[in-house]
Amino acid sequence: MAANVVAWRRWGDFGQELRPGTKAFKGGAKVYVIGTYPGFGDEQLEAVGRGRHHGRWISIKMPTRHLHTFRAKLVHAPAVLRRYDWHPVEREAAERQAERLHRIAREQRQTYHGGPHPDPCLCHACLTGEASG
């Protein structure tokens, strides 16, 4: 599966600060999801993508809420294929997993920070209108 990093994320006490992307990836960066951690309710996943600072391929654990637009995608990059022992997955199963992760990420973005959004807010939920619906 592939996904994109949110452009802005809420950070700090009650989510009143905004930060671009994540510490490891720029906002909008394409990453490949190579695994989730079911013991944590898929709130954490392992992602592979090009790092923010040096552009090399990196593999990190990150919260699901920092990604959006999950989709089934074939991996062609040799650097990504070397980082994980890939096994064939049916497209339908990958699409179901992508829909599930999208739901989890949306729920996490809505509930993780207890406070109201800052004004003006540029977080992914506010920019896409998912906060109101």
- Rounded CA separation 42/105 (Å): 9
Query: Across the chain, what does the average pLDDT equal?
Result: 85
Owner of token pair 């920070």:
113
Provide the pLDDT for residue 108: 86
Owner of token pair 């939920």:
125
Three-state DSSP class for 16?
Answer: coil
User: Beta strand 30-36 with 17-20: parallel, antiparallel or unpaired?
Assistant: unpaired
pLDDT tens per residue across span 79-107: 888 877 777 778 898 899 999 999 998 88
Dihedral angle sign, alpha carbons of residues 74, 80, 82, 85:
negative
Average pLDDT of the residues in 93-122: 85
Angle at the Cα of 4 from the Cα atoms of 28 and 44, rounded to 5 degrees: 125
Three-state DSSP class for 111?
Answer: helix
- If pLDDT is split at 50, 70 and 90, which confidence band does 50 have? very high
Provide the pLDDT for residue 128: 82
